Structures are given as structure tokens and as C-alpha cells.
Structure 1
Amino acid sequence: MKKIFLVPFACAAIFFGCSTTKKQASHTQLKPNKNGFISLFNQKDINDWFVKIAHHEVGENYGNTFRVEDGMVKVRYDQYGDFNDQFGHLYYKVPYSYYHLVVEYRFVGELQKGAPDYTLRNSGVMFHSQDPRTMPKEQDWPISVEMQFLGGLGDGKPRPTGNMCSPGTNVVYKGKIAASHCLNSSSKTYHGDQWVRAELVVLGDSLITHIINGDTVLQYSKPQIGGGTANGYDPKIKIDGKLLSSGFIALQSEGQPIDFRKVELKDLSHLKEKTRRK
């Protein structure tokens, strides 16, 4: 997001789909590792994921933007020509509410011709996202919250990663609604094509924590619909003030090539009642 400083599924017409219990139960066939994480990306294909790219219908992976090679999801634009604001997202097939997400990423290559300058070494993962099947063809960003990934530009200036951006949403930061579209994290700057481990701990519509390479770098709470930045949405979907307790997870494409080698998730739904009592 900009820095300011297919296959039909049941319940597709509902903003966040069916109940969280039913959503998460569909993954009982995925065997957790010793730390309790399941792999949302199997390093073989993206059959459990689906694509929505601006100016295209949901399910159309225009230009083979999202592809699996060498055990990674690679985001590429070699079949594009001019970028033409074709911002895209690769969504996991079901929504989640309480979870610990791990994504390992690295920036590679050059910014695609015609992509906005702010997207240079810029990507992210969206969460608490609206169902992309509720997005009109021309909608640019899903109504969602983003854990933004930024890479150093080699100019000696700090450029933290693991920030928060809020297309069509708001969050509460330090006791009040955040005044800006993006919040900077306290992370250090990561240059070049090094792998970065980003973790996101989401407790429904309560506390959200961003972690970069093991360090907690940002916390906020009460994600909710509101604010601007998202364009072309169906007005019936944007119910300002509605708290977001669940939603879809999506990897981003916005003009900068990037690789994702790991996408893992640990279900934290057992914390739901404890969080509600606070």
C-alpha cells in the first residue's frame, strides 16, 4: 500500500463467509508441525488459493502474476507491459479470526514499468480482508488491514518493515483511531534480497501484534471498517465503524517482484473467550 508520510464457495455473498468454527475446521486434514503451525502454502502449487487483480475478474491470474517455482510463490510481471494499476492479491481459500501467521519473504528484481514510485520494494500481506468475490472488477484494494513489507533503498535512510496500512479500514493506536493511513513499525531497515521473517498475531477484533525477525515492532487494536484509500468498492460492503473480527489472508502484488517461501498459520481460537472476558 501507499505510504502516507475460480471456484465458487459457500457463503460467497457474505462479507466474511461462514462461522469461524466451520472455516477453521476445514483445515483439520492439515497436520500441524511440532510448534502447532500448518502450512497454508504447500510449496507445490496454489490450488488452495485464488487471485483477484484490479481490472480483472476474481480467479483470473492475469499474466501468471502469482506462480510457484523452486518451492516459492513468485510474484512477477514479465507478461504485463505497463503495470496499469493492476494491483493484485492472492487469497487463501478460507478466512481466519484468531491466529499466528508466519510469512517469509524477500524482494527481488526491478519495479515494473508504470508501477507507482511508492511501490518500489513494497509489498505486504492483507488480513481481515473482505471476501474478494464481493469486490467489483475495478476495485483497487480490498477493504482490509495490511502488514506492509518495505525494503531499504540504499540511500542511507531508514525504511522500517512490518508497518500497518489500512485500505478502507481504521485501527486504534495508543488509545485512539490512528490519524494516518499507515503506521511505521520500530523495525530496522532490511536491504537487498535477504529473507525476512514476518509474524502477525491476530486476536479477532482485539489486539494485533507485528513481529519482524523475532522482535515485536508494532501493536494496535480494534480493526474496523472506515477511512479511505480503497476505491471502486461496493458501498453495501463498506459499513464504517463495523469491527473486523475475521477475514481473508492475502499476499500482495503491486508492481515489485517478491518471493514468498513460507506461509504458516497457528490457530489461536482457544484464546477467543479469554480475550472477550478482558
Structure 2
Amino acid sequence: MRKPVLLFLGLLFVFGGYAKMNQPSWITLFNGKDLNDWTVKIRTHDLGENFANTFRVEDGLLKVRYDGYSSFDQQYGHIFFNTPFSYYLLKVEYRFVGDQCPGGEGWAIRNSGAMLHSQDPRTMLKDQDFPISIEGQFLGGNGKDKRSTCNLCTPGTHVVMTDSLFTPHCINSQSETYHGDQWVTAHFIVLGAEEVHHLVGKDTVISYYQPQIGGGNVAPVDSDVKIDGKLLESGYISLQSESHPIDFRKVALIDLSSSKDDRKKLEELVKKALK
């Protein structure tokens, strides 16, 4: 009887290893230890200057804090992962905490975001408020009102929705409201200049197509960089500081570029990753 048992165990090992080999491979963007793979750009400050230690790593979390600010004074900040991507599945786990920095705008209470297909931070002007990008806007509940999350905002960009160019700055998603300091898991399926889907957990809450440069809501900006009508096929990923403290405990990505020409394989990879 030993041989069949050993054979069975061996088969389990082989097929288990095969299954593991065929699982999507997550790339950890935030390693829980440092920000060596990231670049900070805060409005009115030079590239790479992490003013007042706005972005920091504590307790294994990437934290955005304002204890070094006397007033926020529209010092919008972004921290960019140093490698650009084109086709990918991004996972971000976040929570809002504490009180808003003095001087922050009313609309920025429990407000942050993940910027997708961002311009290279080295091309941003010193006083530029936001990168040209597609924003997956994070909103936290205020304890009473409905506030969806994973909304869409478009600093210096447009998208196509229902076969028409969508030019307003923001549109709400169909997500639930997440009050308090609870952790929320956001996913973004970004397929080059083809389509983008925002998910809360595993539920798609908004979709759009053909992200492209255009419109306003970003200033000042280099006219050589802001080429209206240019499709956004790739770009950087950045996380915001907009005056309300926020924690990020996971920022990870599956690169889908090798499967971009095989729609069935691409869909299978995303489905496996979201299980």
C-alpha cells in the first residue's frame, strides 16, 4: 500500500506545483520597509523633496501625515512608483485616519486617490498641483452622508463613456460608502489606452475607455507635455496627499502586458488574481 500513497503524494506535489506556477505573479510596489522605489513630488517643492516627512513608513504602513505642516496651503503631494506600466491589475488597500490638516479644502476631507497612467514626475512643474493622469479617487464616509469611493477624476485628461467623450472633472462610482477608519480594498484593471475598470473588492463600480490627455483641472503645466488628444497607453502610478491622513498597507500589481494580445488569457489571469 505504500507505493500508491507515495505516488499519490508525488502527484499532489507535481500538480500543486503546476497550479502554483500558473498563478498570476504579484509585484510588490510597497515593500512595507522603505520608499526606495518611489519618488515624491509635492507642489511648490522640488522633485524628490519629501516636505515635512509627508510620506513615511511606520508600523509596516505607508502613511501620509501632516504633523509637520502649519497649514496645508494647497501643497498637494504625490508619491510615484519609479517604474511605468501599461497593462496591469493594481491592488491598493487603504484607510483614512485622524483629522484633516488645517488649511485643507472642504472637498478634501477623507479624500485621496491612486493616479493611473500619470505623467513622469520629472516633467511636472514645481508649482503644478496634480500630475496629468487618470485618478481612482478614494473617499471615506463622514458618518452620515453617502460617499462612494473608487470614483473617477480627470486632471488634464478625458475618457470615453457610453461612446462619448466624458469631459467633466469627476463622476461618482456605484460603490457603497465606507465610514470610519476601516480598511478598503481597491482594484484597478488598466488595459493600456483601451479600457480601465475600478473595483471595490471584486465588484466593478465604474468603467471607461480610451483615456487621453485633454481638458483642465491641472495647473500650471508644460504645454510640451500636455498634448491634448494623445491617448494614454502607459504611465506611472502615484498615491496622493490631499490634506487628510491616510494609510496604505498594500500596493501591488500584476503586469498583464505579456497577455495584452490574448484577451482570453488576460481575462483568466485577472479572474484568478481576484479569487
TM-score band by shorter chain is 0.7 to 0.9
CA RMSD for the aligned pairs?
Answer: 1.3
Aligned match of 2:190: 202
- The structure with the greater share of residues assigned to helix is 2
TM score, norm. by length of structure 2 = 0.86
Does the 8 A contact of 2:167 with 2:215 survive in 1? no
Aligned residue type for 1:43: G
Alignment-derived partner of residue 5 in structure 1: none
Gaps of 5+ in 2: 1-20, 264-275
Aligned to 2:38: 49
Matched with 2:136 is 147
Amino acid corresponding to residue 73 of structure 2 in structure 1: N
In the other structure, the counterpart of 1:12 is none
Q: Which residue does the alignment assign to 2:149?
A: 161
Match of 1:36 in 2: 25
- Give me the whole-angstrom Cα distance separating, in 1, the residues matched to 2:237 and 2:152: 15
1:243 aligns with 2:231: yes
Taking the TM superposition and a 5 Å limit, the aligned residue runs for 1:67-216 are 67-155=56-144, 157-216=145-204
Q: How does 1:226-241 map to 2 (within 5 A)?
A: 226-241=214-229
1:274 & 1:213 partners in 2: Cα distance?
A: 25
1:182 partner amino acid:
C
Name the structure 1 match of 2:271. none
Letter in structure 2 aligned against 1:87: Y
Distance 1:50 1:237 in 2: 19
Give how far 1:34 is off: 5.2
Displacement of 1:270: 2.3
Question: SS at the partner of 1:273?
Answer: coil
1:33 Cα deviation from its structure 2 partner: 11
- 1:23-63 CA-to-partner distances (Å, cap 9, x unmatched) read xxxxxxxxx99541111111000000010000001100000
Deviation beyond 3 Å, 4+ runs, structure 1: 32-35
Residue 112 of structure 1 deviates from its aligned partner by 0.4
> SS of 2:260's equivalent?
helix
2:247 to 246, 259, 265: 259
Unpaired runs of at least 5, structure 1: 1-31
Note closer, same or farther for the CA distance 1:60–1:71 as it changes in structure 2 (3 Å cut). Answer: same
Counterparts of 2:252 and 2:261, CA distance in 1: 24
Deviations 1:89-143 (A, max 9, x none): 0000110000000000000010100011100000000010100100110000100
In structure 2, give the amino acid aligned to 1:114. Answer: G
Distance in 2 separating the partners of 1:228 and 1:179: 9
CA distance in 1, matches of 2:249, 2:110: 17
How many Å separate the matches in 2 of 1:33 and 1:89?
35
| 3-state SS, counterpart of residue 148 of structure 2 | coil
CA distance in 1 between partners of 2:30 and 2:99 (Å): 25
Which position in structure 2 is the counterpart of 1:271? 259
Q: Counterparts of 1:267 and 1:137 in 2: how far apart (Å)?
A: 31
State the structure with more CA Rg: 2
In structure 1, what is the Cα distance between the partners aligned to 2:116 and 2:32?
A: 21
Q: Distance in 2 between matches of 1:38 and 1:251?
A: 17
CA distance in 2, matches of 1:196, 1:266: 19
The whole-number CA distance in structure 1 between the counterparts of 2:110 and 2:22 is 32
TM-score by length of 1: 0.85
Q: Measure the CA separation in 2 of the matches of 1:55 and 1:117.
A: 21
Cα offset, 1:180, TM superposition: 1.4
The aligned residue for residue 25 of structure 1 is: none
1:126-161 C-alpha deviation (Å, 9 max, x unpaired): 010100100110000100010000011122x21100
| TM-superposed deviation, 1:274 | 3.9
Give the CA deviation at 1:162: 0.5
